[in-house]
C-alpha cells in the first residue's frame, strides 16, 4: 500500500526497467523562473527612475494597462507546471519587478489567489528600481531564512544593478536553497559587457560555495535571467554549470537548460537568433541516484503559442507588452522556464 501523502497530491508512475510489471510512485514538484518584463505599478517612486511607467510617461502606463499586465502575467504563472501538478509551480523566481506591491497585486489575481503564493522580496539599488523576487506555496515550501546580496564593481562604484536573492526553506523534510538573479545586461555588446556578468557569476558562486561548505550535499537551485547562454564563460566556467550529468564533478553544478539550448530552444530572440538566458541550474545532489530525496527529472522552456507574436517580422518571437513604442498588450520578451523534481514514495 502507498500511504496517503498530503504534501503533493499528484504522483508520477514510472515503470521499472528491471521489473516490467512493478511501478514506482513519485511525488513531483515544479520549480520555475519568469522574467516579467517591466512589471511596474502606476505610481511615482522618487527614489528610482520609473518615469517611463507612469500615466504621463513614455508608455502612458495607466491603471488599465497595469491591470492587463497583471492578468497576462498571472495567466502564464497559473499555467506553468500544470502538466505535472494542478497547483502549478511550488515556487517560482521572478525578475523585472518594480517593488513588493506589484507582487502582492500579482498573487492576488483571481487565477492565482487560491494558490496562496507567499512572497520574498528585497529592494535592489538598481537605477530603474527593478528587483528580483520569489513566490512560493507554503504547502510545498516553508521559508527558514532569506538574504539579499549586493553586486558591486570595484572599478565603477556608482554602477548599481540588481541584487541576488537567496531563500532557504524546508521542502518535505529537505533543506533547499534557491538563488534568484538577474545579471547585468548585454548593453554595449556581449563582449564589452561580459566582465559584469562574470562578476555576477562569481558572487553567485561564492554563495553556492558557502552553502556547500556548510553541507557538501546541499540542495541548491540557481535560477535567473543570466543574460548569457549556457555555453558562455560566466555560466560554464565561473558557475561551473555542466551541460551533461556525466561531466559533473564534486562541487560542480548541472545546467538543466543546456539540452534545450543545444536543441535550439530559446527563451528570447534577437536579430533572428535565439538565446536561452533564463536558466535553472542545480547542485550535484539533485542528480544523485538517491531517489528518497528530491532529484531532477526534466526541464521545460514554456513557449506555448499564445505567448508568441503571430505575424509580422517578429512572428514566433515572445509577444511583448511594448515593441517599437507600440502597446501590444503582450506578455514578456522572455519565455518562462521550469523544472520538474521528483522523490520516490516508499
- In this prediction the pTM is 0.93
Q: How far apart are CA 182 and CA 85, in angstroms?
A: 27
Where residue 2 falls among pLDDT bands split at 50, 70, 90? very low
Q: How far apart are CA 335 and CA 277, in angstroms?
A: 10
- pLDDT tens sequence across 160-174: 999 999 999 999 999
Phi, psi for residue 219 in degrees, rounded to 5: -90, 110
Give me the mean pLDDT over the 145-170 stretch: 95
Q: Candidates 3.30.210.10, 3.60.10.10, 3.30.70.100, 3.40.430.10; correct CATH number of 11-344? A: 3.60.10.10
Give me the mean pLDDT over the 184-200 stretch: 93
**Whether the predicted pLDDT of 5 surpasses 60:** no
Where residue 22 falls among pLDDT bands split at 50, 70, 90? low
Query: Running DSSP on this structure, what letter comes out for residue 199?
Result: H
Phi, psi for residue 265 in degrees, rounded to 5: -85, 125
Percentage above 70 pLDDT, the chain: 94
Q: How far apart are CA 299 and CA 222, in angstroms?
A: 14
Residue 24 has what pLDDT? Answer: 82
Residue 286 has what pLDDT? Answer: 98
Give me the mean pLDDT over the 130-140 stretch: 97
Match 521572478 to its residue by C-alpha cell: 94
Domain layout of the chain by residue ranges? 11-344
Using DSSP, state whether 219 is helix, strand or coil: strand
Length of the chain measured in residues: 346
Amino acid at each position: 500500500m502507498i500511504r496517503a501523502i498530503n504534501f503533493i497530491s499528484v504522483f508520477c508512475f514510472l515503470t521499472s526497467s528491471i521489473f516490467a510489471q512493478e511501478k514506482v510512485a513519485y511525488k513531483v514538484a515544479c520549480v520555475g523562473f519568469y522574467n516579467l518584463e517591466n512589471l511596474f505599478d502606476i505610481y511615482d517612486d522618487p527614489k528610482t527612475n520609473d518615469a517611463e511607467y507612469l500615466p504621463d510617461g513614455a508608455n502612458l502606463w495607466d491603471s488599465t494597462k497595469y491591470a492587463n499586465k497583471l492578468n497576462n502575467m498571472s495567466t502564464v504563472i497559473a499555467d506553468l507546471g500544470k502538466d505535472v501538478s494542478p497547483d502549478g509551480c511550488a515556487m517560482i523566481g521572478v525578475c523585472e519587478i518594480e517593488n513588493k506591491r506589484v507582487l502582492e497585486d500579482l498573487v492576488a489575481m483571481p487565477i492565482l489567489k487560491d494558490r496562496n503564493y507567499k512572497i520574498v522580496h528585497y529592494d535592489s539599488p538598481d537605477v530603474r528600481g527593478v528587483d528580483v523576487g520569489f513566490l512560493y506555496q507554503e504547502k510545498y515550501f516553508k521559508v527558514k531564512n532569506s538574504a539579499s546580496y549586493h553586486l558591486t564593481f570595484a572599478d565603477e562604484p556608482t554602477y548599481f544593478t540588481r541584487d541576488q536573492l537567496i531563500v532557504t526553506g524546508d521542502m518535505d523534510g529537505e533543506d533547499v536553497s534557491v538563488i534568484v538573479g538577474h545579471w547585468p545586461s548585454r548593453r554595449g555588446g556581449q563582449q564589452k559587457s561580459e566582465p559584469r556578468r562574470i562578476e555576477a557569476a562569481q558572487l553567485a558562486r561564492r554563495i553556492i560555495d558557502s552553502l556547500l561548505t556548510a553541507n557538501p550535499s546541499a540542495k541548491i537551485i540557481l535560477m535567473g535571467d543570466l543574460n548569457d547562454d549556457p555555453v558562455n564563460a560566466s555560466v560554464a566556467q565561473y558557475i561551473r554549470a555542466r551541460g551533461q550529468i556525466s561531466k559533473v564533478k564534486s562541487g560542480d553544478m548541472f545546467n538543466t537548460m543546456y539540452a534545450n539550448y543545444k536543441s535550439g530552444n530559446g527563451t528570447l530572440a534577437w536579430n533572428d537568433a535565439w538565446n536561452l538566458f533564463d536558466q535553472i541550474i542545480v547542485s550535484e545532489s539533485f542528480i544523485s541516484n538517491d531517489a528518497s530525496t528530491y532529484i531532477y527529472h526534466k526541464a521545460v522552456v514554456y513557449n506555448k503559442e499564445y505567448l508568441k507574436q503571430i505575424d509580422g517580422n517578429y512572428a514566433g518571437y515572445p509577444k511583448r507588452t511594448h515593441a517599437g513604442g507600440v502597446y501590444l498588450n503582450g506578455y514578456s520578451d522572455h519565455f518562462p522556464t521550469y523544472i520538474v523534481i521528483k522523490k520516490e514514495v516508499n
